[in-house]
Chains A and B, each alone.
Chain A
Amino acid sequence: MTARRLFLTQILFGASTVGAPKFKRDYHRELGVKPFINAIGSYSSLGGEEMWPEVIEAMDYATQNKADMEDLHDAVGNRIAELVGSEYACVTAGATSAIILSVAGCMSGLNKEILETLPHPPVGTKNEVILQRSHQYLYDRALRVPGAKLVMVDTEENLLNAINEKTAMMFYVRKMEGEIPLEHWIKIGKEQNIPTLCDAATTVPPIQNLLDTVKLGFDLCCFSGGKGLRGPYSAGLLLGRKDLIIAAKANGSPNHKSVGRAMKVAPEEYLGMMVAVEQSLLHDEAADMKDYYRITNDMAAEISKLDGVTADVLTSEQQGMEPYVNVDWDQEKYKISKDGLKLALRNGEPCIELRAMFLSFGELHLTGHMLKPGEEKIVARRVIEILLESKVLL
């Protein structure tokens, strides 16, 4: 290891212990699991967001203090509903689980025969979920898990024609483009008496987006708990109409005979999710955002010093308006593809992950909010170093 590399390693390990308690055992080292710098974001596959310390305290509390699960579910549901201004709430095993349970609930209501037979319910069960073709994405997969069929529409006319006695739900993805405006989607749902679900999983932070989404008029909306809300990794929120949430819950754990029994939510996750919502509402997000801008601006300033390389700080609605650095370069000057840079960062020392491929439509994005103090310098240096190694010498 060169002197420079050693220095970088020291920064990395020095920085990663800031704020974290000491542990008797280093499990990741024992297991040979490699640490990495997260310049990609709070994705599930990378372990999600760091929880608020208050959430961890609440989870400890719930592992030591026992209560009836039903009492706990109801009390936490009421408390979260009160905090966010919805009629009712429940904690699910994640946003995907919230979608699955919502669809199942809209198919079953409280009909025992359907509850016990999903995903293959008796003939005649409502089993169609309508969505705009442009709202098809990675997670529409969840809609089919309890046995529903997807019905795609492009226009309002299509939508009205698609609605029939088999329609269980109208599904909408927040912040996605589509020909049918959100207000019309909600209005038609109400007029036709079809429950509407809004998937807003990735729209927090800011927490204001959650509060705004709840007010839009959808019957149900769902959020991921382990990302922007900084709650437990395998938890999410389902908010909205009480009757529909009760039907959704009837399809979940701890009900033995339900399609969603396997999507268990621990009591500590239930309580932890409540505290995550509390903390998110108390937190100064503007200060966070300022910090993210400082971090991304610093990275962009360093990287854009290279001749023929651009590093622009941008934002997008889908990513909760968080800033990111879009890195691009003149392919004539640097003989490395975008995929090449991604892999070089991943396989280098230290390992760095950035947003690429389908998550950024072929672009390379560096994000700031999962970086620990000082890591932005390492990320910028590694990008510069890899680009310089591939520079065409004139």
Chain B
Amino acid sequence: MTKRRSFLKAAAIAYPLSQVGSIPALAKENYQAPTIFKRDYFKEIGVTAFINAAAGYSAYGGARMLPEVAEAIRYGTYNKAKVSDLHDAVGKRIANMVGVEAAMVPSGATAAMVLGTAACMTRGDREKIEQLPTTTDMPNEVIIQKNHRYTYDRALIVAGAKLIEVANEEELVNSISPKTAMMFWLLANHNPAGDNISMDRYLKIAKENKIPTFLDGATMTPPASNVIDACKLGFDMVGFSGGKGLRGPYSAGLLLGKKEFIEYARANNSPNSRALGRGMKVASEEYLGMLVALEAGLEVDEEADFNEKREVFARMISEIGDISSLKTEFILDEGMVSELYLDLSWDQSVINLSIEEFVEELKSGTPSIRIRMLKFAGGRAQLSTTVLSEGQEITVGRRIRDVLKRNS
């Protein structure tokens, strides 16, 4: 961990209730009051809206975009440009910001993987682009380490590739052949299994054999500066999710890297009518929104951002008040990704409520509140501030107090 990150440790220390009042007020630029809309659409169609104190999960509608991202999206809806001009210009700007040769905005991190694989299999050959996902007469094998297998490696076979799993360096070297299209690497915050082959060796072997490499860093933000760090690792292509840690549009992501491969990837994507990825459309406003999200993300002062989150939590804790046996603790996701959570735990002989019952009561109450439940260590109840609107922390705090008190 660099010096830059040293404040994180301090931020994660459990915060005593007695000091809640002493936290300094900070600018609330990331944390806005909700807008009043003419129509309440969710109510009209019978959807239960909820306060998201869990985090920006896809299934819960993603992260909350920054106001400037929403503004850029609105601009994009009113001002039309030729899609290819816009893709070129935004790609160039993002590439300059990150320090890579080229960049594009796919419809998410999964799309980045689909397009990266398609790029390596087709390499600009029009006939091959037309044939996908039939890959019989082109390199169509993607090498993946055994310990890097995960839910989303599904995306690697969407374009018609086969996965070749390797467990050690010898297997890796033996598996390389003229059919090898790409070598894949999963960048993860916590991979208890570790890597089968070190990154240095993996990249060296790829270079020696002239095999393009892809790094999936989908979940490796915040901070946004991780995009820059990941691109320095030496992979030919790097993919990121846009709608979670980067707080960009929900159906957008980033694909960054060597110019050659980004061009091959674009040839397989919308708006090309006869491309495999034509169905993975990205609106012009999402292109602009992704650019502005990254700009804003790179400008975020991480320390101020953390202090702001702590302040929000402090107000929540203050509403919860003193409840016998309740422990509140700040949890920091350590590693490359850093996000602050508030962990709640209590003695279940004093408060007669399991973690599961607690989560369910918050969910089924009014207003409905979602928090995240981790399955390990008999279950943990955790909260995040990232998707909260101004004032919601007070509501959440009061509801938690009610639920816990009622069962004490």
Which A residues are closer than 8 A to B by beta carbons? Answer: 20-21, 23-25, 27-28, 31-36, 38, 44-48, 50-51, 56-72, 75-76, 78-79, 92-94, 96-97, 99-101, 116-117, 119-120, 138-139, 141-142, 144-145, 147, 226, 232-234, 253-254, 256-269, 271, 274-275, 353
Q: How far is the CA of A357 from the CA of B275 in the complex (A)?
A: 20
Which residues of B have CB within 8 Å of A72? 42, 47, 61
Which residues of A have CB within 8 Å of B89? 31-33
Answer yes or no: B90 CB below 8 A from chain A CBs: yes
Please pick, from A27, A31, A261, A269, the residue contacting B154 in the complex, using a CB distance under 8 A. Answer: A261
5 contacts between A and B (CB under 8 A): A65-B42, A67-B49, A96-B278, A99-B279, A262-B110
Complex contact A46–B72 (CB within 8 A): no
Complex contact A226–B283 (CB within 8 A): yes
Number of A-B contacts (CB under 8 A): 247
Complex contact A27–B76 (CB within 8 A): yes
Please pick, from B51, B157, B282, B389, the residue contacting A234 in the complex, using a CB distance under 8 A. Answer: B282
Residue of B nearest to A92 (CB): B279
Please pick, from A31, A47, A62, A275, the residue contacting B80 in the complex, using a CB distance under 8 A. Answer: A47
Give min CB distance, A271 to chain B, whole Å: 6
Interface size class of B (residues with CB under 8 A): 35 or more
A-contacting residues, B279-338, CB 8 Å: 279-286, 288, 291-292
Complex contact A257–B271 (CB within 8 A): no
Take A257-B154, A269-B251 as given contacts and tell me if A141 and B273 are in contact as well, using a CB distance cutoff of 8 Å.
yes
A-contacting residues, B25-69, CB 8 Å: 34-35, 37-39, 41-42, 45-52, 58-62, 64-65
List 6 tightest A-B contacts by C-beta distance, closest first: A264-B251, A234-B281, A266-B250, A97-B279, A233-B283, A262-B111
Residue of A nearest to B114 (CB): A262
Complex contact A67–B48 (CB within 8 A): yes
Q: How far is the CA of A34 from the CA of B111 in the complex (A)?
A: 28
Give min CB distance, B39 to chain A, whole Å: 8
- Per-residue CB contact flags for chain B residues 9-29 toward chain A (1 = under 8 Å, else 0) read 000000000000000000000
Give min CB distance, B351 to chain A, whole Å: 27
Which residues of B have CB within 8 Å of A97? 279-281
Answer yes or no: B155 CB below 8 A from chain A CBs: yes
Complex contact A44–B83 (CB within 8 A): yes
Which residues of B have CB within 8 Å of A353? 82
Complex contact B84–A27 (CB within 8 A): no
Complex contact B251–A93 (CB within 8 A): yes
Which residues of A have CB within 8 Å of B61? 62, 66-69, 72, 267
Complex contact B93–A31 (CB within 8 A): yes
Known: A94-B281, A145-B276, A226-B283. 6 other contacts (CB 8 A): A27-B292, A44-B271, A47-B82, A64-B34, A233-B283, A262-B107
Take A23-B74, A266-B62 as given contacts and tell me if A57 and B83 are in contact as well, using a CB distance cutoff of 8 Å.
no
Which residues of A have CB within 8 Å of B93? 31
A-contacting residues, B57-113, CB 8 Å: 58-62, 64-65, 70-86, 89-90, 93, 106-108, 110-111, 113
Complex contact A120–B133 (CB within 8 A): yes
Complex contact B47–A67 (CB within 8 A): yes
Q: How far is the CA of A353 from the CA of B58 in the complex (A)?
A: 38
Give min CB distance, A389 to chain B, whole Å: 25
Q: How far is the CA of A255 from the CA of B38 in the complex (A)?
A: 33
Answer yes or no: B171 CB below 8 A from chain A CBs: no
Q: How far is the CA of A63 from the CA of B80 in the complex (A)?
A: 22
Q: How far is the CA of A75 from the CA of B41 in the complex (A)?
A: 11
Which residues of B have CB within 8 Å of A100? 279
Complex contact A119–B158 (CB within 8 A): yes
Q: How far is the CA of A48 from the CA of B285 in the complex (A)?
A: 11
